Structure 1
């Protein structure tokens, strides 16, 4: 890996809840992103590739959704993350937002995100107020991920599913909305050098798709 560099931009001037909600109302998409939808701008790890090559398989891409959980704690706003269980076949041990593949019975990406959050961490859908969508994110494994930003009640009780989740933790929004913490790292993948965002926090490393979604949250609300 090469030495990391910080992303360009200034830290969020006011990462408090009121400012966050106002920006979310004005800057998030309130319909599922897709072709022809205003404010829709598909993103992905390919954004960072200097040669412009795609790191994702060709279409059709598999639809998925994640919940970007926002919590108003007494000492500040946080985002909630999970650490995937070590025995999982895909992305084991990685930091992620609650989420997964779209099921046939899901009527919207919000349904998918809330269902997966219930299955993974026991978060009841009634404890979440959906605020809108970030830009869809194309992963290197061929998923088109719809990030759903949701305000989670601070009173919500979580019951992580140990079969899927090893840990649940929160990171201050002010920390995450400082783009200097959005490092760009690289690794060899399929014979090419692949670049991706990485955000170290305490003993955790938020990277890849999850870090890219965090960066998109900064771009949409604070850049």
Structure 2
């Protein structure tokens, strides 16, 4: 769904987690590994791009964790990818990465990556469920896990992968008034994508798109 709605009333921490628990499950969507199933973004230009990529590149299943920290005013924990990386250097991201053969599930991969990248101890993490698969222009099929995180954890940043970790208020990210639509051309078609600039942080691309998915699945009536 590519559009901007009027901002709803603020959602409380209890209401957000209650809705998430009622609406999300741990059923793995076929689009994660089935090349014949193309993740749908709701934007025709982006959907066309994903169909082209599915014909040209093998599927690259990946998993990310959306850590929602249960403060009185909940926040989402995000990372800034290391500046020396070959792909997406310096971009804002969720903890996560490719699903390895040794991972028991996408959830297991997301928890492992969060521990490896930022040292988030899984004993503080209560997984709630999966969102829909999000397809990227690099051939990744990303399955996000929404999780409630108990405050009190300490992070250890793996500088080979991540330069920084920081929190953004959930109320900001779930306010559609902050969901900006940007666009660029890809193979003759206009591709739309979300951006959610926050202070000096430019949240865009897959990260903003996944946050938009979370808004649509959990916050809309």
Which TM-score applies when normalising by structure 2?
A: 0.88
Distance in 2 separating the partners of 1:42 and 1:69: 26
Distance in 2 separating the partners of 1:149 and 1:17: 14
Aligned to 2:42: 47
- Asked whether 1:115 is paired with 2:135, we answer no
Measure how far apart 1:78 and its partner are: 0.6
1:55-86 deviations in Å (ceiling 9; x for gaps): 46115411100000000224x01111001011
- Asked whether 1:68 is paired with 2:63, we answer no
Matches within 5 A, 1:112-191: 112-190=109-187
Measure how far apart 1:10 and its partner are: 3.6
Measure how far apart 1:52 and its partner are: 5.1
Q: Higher RCO, 1 or 2 (CA under 8 Å, sep at least 6)?
A: 1
Measure how far apart 1:222 and its partner are: 1.3
1:78-103 deviations in Å (ceiling 9; x for gaps): 11100101100111000000000000
Aligned to 1:207: 204
CA RMSD of aligned residues (A): 2.1
Aligned to 1:11: 7
Q: Secondary structure at the match of 1:47?
A: coil
Q: Secondary structure at the match of 2:7?
A: coil
Q: Secondary structure at the match of 2:48?
A: coil
Give the gaps of 5 or more residues in structure 2. Answer: 32-36
Structure richer in strand, relative to its length: 1
Q: Which moved more, 1:212-221 or 1:15-24?
A: 15-24
Number of residues of Structure 1 aligned to a counterpart in Structure 2? 211
Q: Is the contact between residue 71 and residue 152 of structure 1 (CA under 8 Å) also seen in structure 2?
A: yes
Q: Secondary structure at the match of 1:54?
A: helix
Which TM-score applies when normalising by structure 1?
A: 0.87
Q: Secondary structure at the match of 2:70?
A: strand
Matches within 5 A, 1:92-103: 92-103=89-100
1:121-174 deviations in Å (ceiling 9; x for gaps): 001111110000111111111011000011111111111111111111111111
- Asked whether 1:26 is paired with 2:26, we answer no
Give the gaps of 5 or more residues in structure 1. Answer: 1-5, 36-40
Q: Secondary structure at the match of 2:203?
A: strand
Q: Secondary structure at the match of 1:204?
A: coil
Q: Is the contact between residue 45 and residue 189 of structure 2 (CA under 8 Å) also seen in structure 1?
A: no
- Asked whether 1:221 is paired with 2:218, we answer yes
Q: Is the contact between residue 100 and residue 113 of structure 1 (CA under 8 Å) also seen in structure 2?
A: yes
Q: Is the contact between residue 49 and residue 186 of structure 2 (CA under 8 Å) also seen in structure 1?
A: no
Measure how far apart 1:112 and its partner are: 0.4
Alpha carbons of 1:210 and 1:42: their partners in 2 closer, same or farther (altered >3 Å)? farther
